Structure 1
C-alpha cells in the first residue's frame, strides 16, 4: 500500500486509523454505560438523554463541529478550563478523535442497547436472587450475553469514525499531518488540479475499510452469539 499511496495519502490513512482507534476506545465504556441505562433503568429525563445521544445523527455534522468548537475551543467554557491543564482539543488530532467519537457514539449505543434489551431480565433476576450484587450480575450475565451487540457496535463506530468529515473539519480544520484524515484529504485533493487520482485512491481505501468493518461486524457478532448460545 505504501507504493500505491503517496506519502501524503498514507499519512492521511495512518492518521485516520489512529483517530478512529482512539475515538472507539474512548467512547466504548461510555457507550456500554449509556446503553445499559437506556435499556434497563427508568429515570426522569430518560427520553431527553436518548434524544441527546442520537442528536448527532440528526444534526448536520457541521453544526456538531461548531458546537464542539464553541465548547472545547480554547475560548470555550470547557476548552479554556482544560487548556489551563495543558489539554487542548481544537485544531489537534485529539480533537479529531473527539469529534469522530461523538459522531459515532449513537451507532455504538444503539447496537449495544438492542443487544442488552434482548437479554432475558429473568436471568438477571435469578442471579440477583442467588445473592449476586448488581455490578456482578452485569459483569457475569448481562455483559457476556450482550457481547454480540457490543462487538458489532464497536466495529460500526470505528467505521463511522473513519469516514467522519463535517464535524471534524469544522472543529479541527484540515491540517496536514495533524488533522487531515482520509475524508478531509479527499476534499483537499479535489480542490487542486490533478488531485483526482489521489482522491480516487483514498476513496477506494475508504470503501474497502467500510466494507471490511461491516463484514467483520457481522462475522464477529455471529460467532460471539453462537458461543454465548452454546454455553
Structure 2
C-alpha cells in the first residue's frame, strides 16, 4: 500500500455530508412548493434549477467564480460586510458540492411529491390539519422513498464533485483537496499508485451507496406488495 495522506477522505466526507443536509432541506422545500403550485414562468424556474445537471462542471465553476469572486456580486459583499473570502477556501468546496448536487435532490423530491394524489392532503386540510402537520404526517412519509433516493444520489454526487470545485476552490492540501482533486493532481505528479488508491476508494464508496439504495428499494417494494395482498 502506498504512503497516503488520508486528509482527502475526511475532507470529502465532511463536504458531502454537510452539502447533503443543505441540499436536502432546500431541495425538499423547493420541490414541495413547485409540485403544489402553478404560476407563469414555472418551467423557466425549473430549468434554472436543473441547469447544473446538464452544464459542464467547469462552466458551473466559472459561474460560481464570477459570483463569489472578489469582484463578484456576492463575493464583494461577503468580503466587505463579513470579511469573508470564498474563493480558494473550504467554503468554496462546499458551495460547489451544493450547486452541482442540488438538481438530483430536487428532481427526486419533485417526482416523489407528484407520485401520489394531492386529494389526500386536501382531505386532511378540510379536517382542520395545518399545512405543517399535513407535511410531516402525510406528505413526507408518502414521499420518503423518493426522497431517500435523492438523498443517496446527492451524497454520491457531492462526494465525486471535481470540475466546479477545481475552478472555485483550487487545490490546496489540507484545505480543498477532496478525493477527486487528489486523484487528478497525483496523476499529474506521476504518483499513479496513490491515484489508484483513491480511485478504488471512491469507486467503492459510490458502488456501496448505489448497491444499498437498490437493496433498500427492492426490500421496500417487496414489503409494499406483501402488505397490499
Secondary structure of 1:131's aligned partner: coil
Query: Aligned-pair distance for 1:37?
Result: 2.1
Contact 1:147 1:224 in 2 (8 A): no
Counterpart mapping for 1:124-143 below 5 A: 124-143=121-140
Contact 1:152 1:217 in 2 (8 A): yes
Contact 2:2 2:193 in 1 (8 A): no
Compute the TM-score of the two structures, normalised by the length of structure 2. 0.91
Query: Aligned-pair distance for 1:165?
Result: 0.4
Query: Aligned-pair distance for 1:205?
Result: 0.5
Query: Aligned-pair distance for 1:221?
Result: 4.5
Moved more, 95-104 or 125-134: 125-134
Query: Aligned-pair distance for 1:227?
Result: 7.5
Q: 2:64 aligned with 1:71, yes or no?
A: no
Aligned equivalents of 2:216, 2:2: Cα separation in 1: 30
Query: Which residue does the alignment assign to 1:171?
Result: 168
Q: 2:213 aligned with 1:217, yes or no?
A: yes
- For residues 165-222 of structure 1, give each alpha carbon's deviation from its aligned partner in whole angstroms, at most 9, with x where no partner exists: 00000011111111111111000011113x1111111000110010111122234445
Query: Aligned-pair distance for 1:94?
Result: 1.6
Aligned alpha-carbon RMSD (Å): 2.0
- Residues paired across the two proteins, number: 226
Counterpart mapping for 1:72-221 below 5 A: 72-83=68-79, 84-193=81-190, 195-221=191-217
Query: Aligned-pair distance for 1:143?
Result: 0.9
Aligned equivalents of 1:36, 1:104: Cα separation in 2: 18
Unaligned runs of 5+ in 1: none
Aligned equivalents of 1:52, 1:19: Cα separation in 2: 24
- For residues 73-126 of structure 1, give each alpha carbon's deviation from its aligned partner in whole angstroms, at most 9, with x where no partner exists: 222111111222133321111210110111011111111111111122121111
Contact 1:72 1:90 in 2 (8 A): yes
Unaligned runs of 5+ in 2: none
Aligned equivalents of 1:172, 1:20: Cα separation in 2: 15
Contact 2:105 2:150 in 1 (8 A): yes
Query: Which residue does the alignment assign to 1:42?
Result: 38
